[in-house]
Amino acid sequence: MAIIIEPFRIKSVEPLTFTTRPQREQILKEAKNNLFLIKAEHVLIDLLTDSGTSAMSAKQWAGIMVGDESYAGSQSFYRFQEVAKKITGYKNIIPTHQGRAAEKIIFSILGGKGKTFVSNTFFDTTRGNIEYSGAEALDFLTEEGKIPQHIAPFKGNMDTVALEAFIKNRGAENIPMCVMTITNNSGGGQPVSMQNLRETAAICRKYGIRFFIDACRFAENAYFIKKREKGFENKSVLAISQEIFSLADGCTMSAKKDALVNIGGFLAINDDALALESKNLLIITEGFPTYGGLAGRDLEAMAQGLEEVLDEEYLKYRLRSIEYMGEKLSAAGVPMILPTGGHAIYLDAKAFLPQIPASEMPGVALANALYLEGGIRGVEIGSLMFGKYDENGDHIAPPMELVRLAIPRRVYTQSHIDYVCEIIIEVFRKREQYSGYKITYESPLLRHFTAHLE
């Protein structure tokens, strides 16, 4: 394959800070061995998340200057609304300050005790907002999506057979909504096929259940469909995206991913009555419906970002850069979730550091080793994030021990990625020398953010 280059040149730069190994040892020790507690300036390559970390384009920055800050009826809102409507086709576009704010609104209206929401896989904040309303959130991920090294084109798909059986058993009247997360972040950034979206939509229609898209990474998913699903080779990513959205009744969106901005989101709904209720709640929680918790300039940047993310030269480079990283690491034998997804590499820490039992958090050991070795920050998704205790205080491990290296959009170049691969391979070569961690302090909820370890 001919080399695929970054489809941009750089107009504004941010310097990286270099630290020495002894400095990083000291920094990590002072941060109680928790990468969330170190200062970002002490990180060389920050792969903690792809959310809100995009580099904006010159046109987005120009939009920041022309943003209309009127409280009501801002021109920037109308520009944003036009672009969001063009892509999604939904009648009501409601801006929010980020994705979880849209989730909070819709699930506090539709949720409540005795209700069940279903999904291919709910992202943590989505699940959190559903459970906070008193309702339950259940995942119906296809079986092949659960096997890390199994190669399949659409490992984010819904298990439609299990979904329909559950609906019959639970009763559609108890299920206010089915959510398809594209791409499936928690399952490795894996895409969902158009066929699976169509089948899920048909089931929802048959039983009268609302169907929504968690659209954070819709453009990456649409490009996977173009590349992997028969019949879509010659369709534009815009047309594929429009078809995806046309199958559903609405969406929640974190613009911090595929709208290429540092803050923003929206809720989009066809049903006018539900939209009106959402706007009323928006007014008391986020702001007036023509700004929804954002500045006018943010709406302008979001509108421009939504246009730019559909550029297929950009998407080709985006997905190729993740795949390139996966190929390099696989060639060196590094274990990870395969095929690589759209926004991140998920290293399999259990296979990487088999000498460390789950109770000693191999994911933390690996993430910390990458920091110590090369100043790289990833995030553990394993026993620290999701582990629980049984009644005897013994550790209950989640099914996988992963380290996610999420790639910010348009931020790092191929040489940064080559450097990251070099460090990972170096750590892999020395893998026998690493040992585990134990927790010395933890908070009752979301302990990974603040835990102390040694």
Which position among 100, 226, 409, 410 is part of the footprint of ligand F0G (CB under 6 A)? 100
CB-based burial, 73-107: b 16+ in 10 Å, e otherwise? ebebbebbbebbeebbebebbbbbbbbbbbbbbbb
**Residue 336: DSSP 8-state:** B
Angle at 195 between CA 189 and CA 201, to 5 degrees: 95
Is residue 340 part of the contact set for ligand F0G (CB under 6 A)?
A: no
Is residue 129 part of the contact set for ligand F0G (CB under 6 A)?
A: no
Pick 98 or 368: Cβ nearer ligand F0G: 98
Rounded to a whole number of angstroms, the minimum distance from the CB of residue 354 to ligand F0G is: 27
Neighbour-count burial of 360, counting CB atoms closer than 10 A to its CB (0-12 exposed, 13-18 middle, 19+ buried): middle
Please give the residue whose beta carbon sits closest to ligand F0G in the complex.
Answer: 99
CB-based burial, 292-315: b 16+ in 10 Å, e otherwise? bbbbbbbbbbbbbbbbbbbeeebb
Pick 125 or 450: Cβ nearer ligand F0G: 125
DSSP string of 4-32, one letter each residue = PPPSS--SS--PPPP--HHHHHHHHHHTT
For residue 111, the number of C-alpha atoms closer than 13 Å in the C-beta half-sphere is 21
Pick 24 or 343: Cβ nearer ligand F0G: 343
Q: Which residues contact 359 (CB under 8 A, 6 or more apart)?
A: 383, 387, 394, 395, 397, 436
Is residue 256 part of the contact set for ligand F0G (CB under 6 A)?
A: yes
Record the tokens describing residue 402, joined without a space. 């992963």
Which position among 34, 92, 98, 133 is part of the footprint of ligand F0G (CB under 6 A)? 98
Record the tokens describing residue 394, joined without a space. 């013994």
Which position among 63, 95, 99, 188 is part of the footprint of ligand F0G (CB under 6 A)? 99
Which position among 60, 133, 160, 181 is part of the footprint of ligand F0G (CB under 6 A)? 181
Pick 256 or 279: Cβ nearer ligand F0G: 256
Pick 186 or 383: Cβ nearer ligand F0G: 186
Q: How many helices (H) and strands (E) does the chain have?
A: 16, 16
Number of amino acids touching ligand F0G (CB under 6 A): 15
Record the tokens describing residue 24, joined without a space. 């990083």
Which position among 49, 119, 133, 193 is part of the footprint of ligand F0G (CB under 6 A)? 49
Distance CA 38, CA 35 (A): 6
For residue 299, the SS3 value is helix
Rounded to a whole number of angstroms, the minimum distance from the CB of residue 138 to ligand F0G is: 16
Rounded to a whole number of angstroms, the minimum distance from the CB of residue 173 to ligand F0G is: 27
Pick 75 or 125: Cβ nearer ligand F0G: 125
Segment 262 to 291, residues that bind ligand F0G, using CB under 6 A: 265
DSSP string of 220-234, one letter each residue = HHHHHHHHHSTT-TT
Segment 188 to 247, residues that bind ligand F0G, using CB under 6 A: 214, 216
Rounded to a whole number of angstroms, the minimum distance from the CB of residue 382 to ligand F0G is: 15
Pick 49 or 340: Cβ nearer ligand F0G: 49
Is residue 51 part of the contact set for ligand F0G (CB under 6 A)?
A: yes
Rounded to a whole number of angstroms, the minimum distance from the CB of residue 256 to ligand F0G is: 5
Interface residues toward ligand F0G, by CB under 6 A: 49, 51, 98-100, 123, 125-126, 181, 185, 214, 216, 254, 256, 265
